[in-house]
Amino acid sequence: MQLQATSEHSVHKSLAPGLVLATLGAIAFSGKAIIVKLAYRHGVDAVTLIMLRMLFALPLFALMAWWAGRGKPALTRRDWMGVVGLGFSGYYLSSFLDFAGLAYITASLERLILYLNPTLVLLFGWIVYRRRITRWQLAGMSISYAGVLLVFGHEVQLGQSASAAWGALLVFLSAVSYAIYLVASGEFVKRLGSLRLVGLATSVACVLCIVQFMLLRPMSAAFDVAPQVIWLSILNATLCTAVPVLAVMMAIERIGPAMAAQTGMVGPISTILMGVVILGEPFTAWIAAGTALVIAGIFVFTRMGR
């Protein structure tokens, strides 16, 4: 009995660092929406704001790609084409649509919509690879989407329905774009490694966001922003972009992707709490019920639907 208790204690102790890393990564990722909403209060637009975030994040991701690629074979032309495509879909387009949508909806609704990502990955897997969808997965999807619709309906009552619908659509398309990246990245993760692929794909996205700004805005617009926007962008690029990517990667190495994904359920809750405390967003029984449904649905989807 004592030996069994000692063994269980050692297992829990070995899981602890991974669980802490996964939790911190989920919370840090969730802070991105809060920072974007704070920056919008200073009159900046989505094109400029995402450029500043990616400008400060580019050195970090380039360093990540170099570090993960040491001693590895050089990328082939096919590899580079895949990296560019994945960077466009998974980090450039997804991030821009998310930033644009946050101008119209609350951070809480944004996080709940993005949290539907596993269901979209499953749908694309069914469409492309004809992977079977179980009854439990369908039940989990139904519960989660009902929760999002509940929160969306409440938000429509609080503000203008047209702008709320447009913002929700943009964020949902952001989730779709990232789901396409996840479905298409499987082969390249095996070839390049997850950390190297993330570093390269996000570096491509950073360059695309900077080029987009140069095409759509005068260069002077980069400096014609409030100082708070600069500091918020630096915080977004480091604490809410590069740091959580590394934290989640390290967590997956220690506790596996399934447990890391389950730990990520703290993300929507932390976003709602930060939205209430920092942004002054409303917290009602409707939001609480919708959040509970989304989290419960994803839990059923990932655990019972295997």
Tell me which of 249 and 30 has the higher pLDDT: 30
User: What is the pLDDT, as a whole number, of residue 3?
Assistant: 45
Contact 107, 40 (CB under 8 A): no
Please state the rounded mean pLDDT for residues 156-169: 78
pLDDT tens digits for range 16-50:
787 888 888 888 888 899 999 999 999 899 999 99
Nearest to 140 by CA among 156, 126, 120: 120
pLDDT at position 158 over 80: no
pLDDT of res. 306: 52
User: What pLDDT is recorded for position 30?
Assistant: 84
pLDDT tens digits for 102-126? 999 888 888 888 888 888 888 887 8
Statement: residue 11 has pLDDT above 70: no
Q: Which of 158-167, 223-232, 290-299 has the lowest mean pLDDT?
A: 158-167
Residue 264, pLDDT > 80, answer no
Q: Tell me how far apart the alpha carbons of residues 85 and 204 are, in angstroms, rounded to a whole number.
A: 9
Between 113 and 265, residue with greater pLDDT = 113
Distances (CA, A) of 67 to 27, 64, 70, 72, 197: 25, 5, 6, 10, 11
Is-contact 242 60, C-beta < 8 A? yes
Instruction: Give the E-state strand segments of the chain in sequence order.
Output: none
pLDDT for position 8: 44
pLDDT > 70: what percent of the chain? 90
The residue ranking higher by pLDDT, 54 or 158, is 54
Distances (CA, A) of 202 to 63, 79, 238: 11, 15, 13
pLDDT at 37: 93
**Which region among 67-81, 116-130, 165-179 has the lowest average model confidence (pLDDT)?**
116-130
Q: Quick one: pLDDT at residue 269?
A: 82
What's the pLDDT band for 257 if we cut at 50, 70, 90? low
- The pLDDT, as a whole number, for residue 194 is 80
User: Which among 171-175, 182-186, 192-196 has the top mean pLDDT?
Assistant: 171-175
Burial of residue 84, with CB atoms counted within 10 A of its CB: 0-12 exposed, 13-18 middle, 19 or more buried: middle
Q: Report which DSSP code applies to 134.
A: -
pLDDT averaged over every residue in the chain: 84
What is the structure's pLDDT at 49?
94
